[in-house]
Amino acid sequence: MKYLIDTQILIWFQISPNKIKNEILDIIQDTSNQIFISDISLFEITIKQNIKKLPEFPVKLDDIIFNALKNDFSFIGLTHKLFSVYLELALHEYHKDPFDRMIISTALAEEITIISSDEKFLLYNHLVKIIKA
């Protein structure tokens, strides 16, 4: 099965896997599953590290990528199709985070399940399958 992990799950997997439920870790570590990371997560981490909003996550971008590849994760780049899906995604009053919405758009465009710890992702569960971590 194919899964897209959100930015928070990526961060936890890198430095605090104990924060991820065992059943979610089982999915992520099951080699029969394909685990994807959106490049938007790397962009989000880079921006937030640059403006000092992630002091608890000092991991360098090269190390994030190295660790992800070491765990057989794949990356999904930004595409024109993704931007088109993003434009069509309903804007919820209580969820305007552009990074989250790009991750959701990625899952929609690629037709894959999202693993997220963010309750707000559930606003989109009628469009894409979401597993709450």
Q: What is the pTM of this model?
A: 0.95
Residues 93-100 have a mean pLDDT of 93
* 90 Cβ neighbours under 8 A, 6+ residues apart: none
* Each residue's pLDDT tens digit, 52-76: 999 999 999 999 999 999 999 999 9
What order do you get walking across the sheet with 74-76 strand by strand? 74-76, 34-38, 2-5, 113-116, 130-132
- At 119 the pLDDT is 93
First-to-last CA distance in the chain?
Answer: 17
Residues 2-26 have a mean pLDDT of 97
Share of the chain above pLDDT 70, in %: 100
Q: Is 51 exposed, middle or buried (0-12, 13-18, 19+ CB in 10 A)?
A: exposed
Q: Which CATH class is domain 2-132?
A: alpha beta
Residues 18-37 have a mean pLDDT of 97
The pair of structure tokens assigned to 85 is 């899906």
- At 120 the pLDDT is 94
Give the separation between CA 73 and CA 36, rounded to whole angstroms.
6
Domain ranges of the chain: 2-132
Give the separation between CA 65 and CA 1, rounded to whole angstroms.
22
**Are the beta carbons of 13 and 116 closer than 8 angstroms?**
no
Mean per-residue pLDDT of the chain: 96
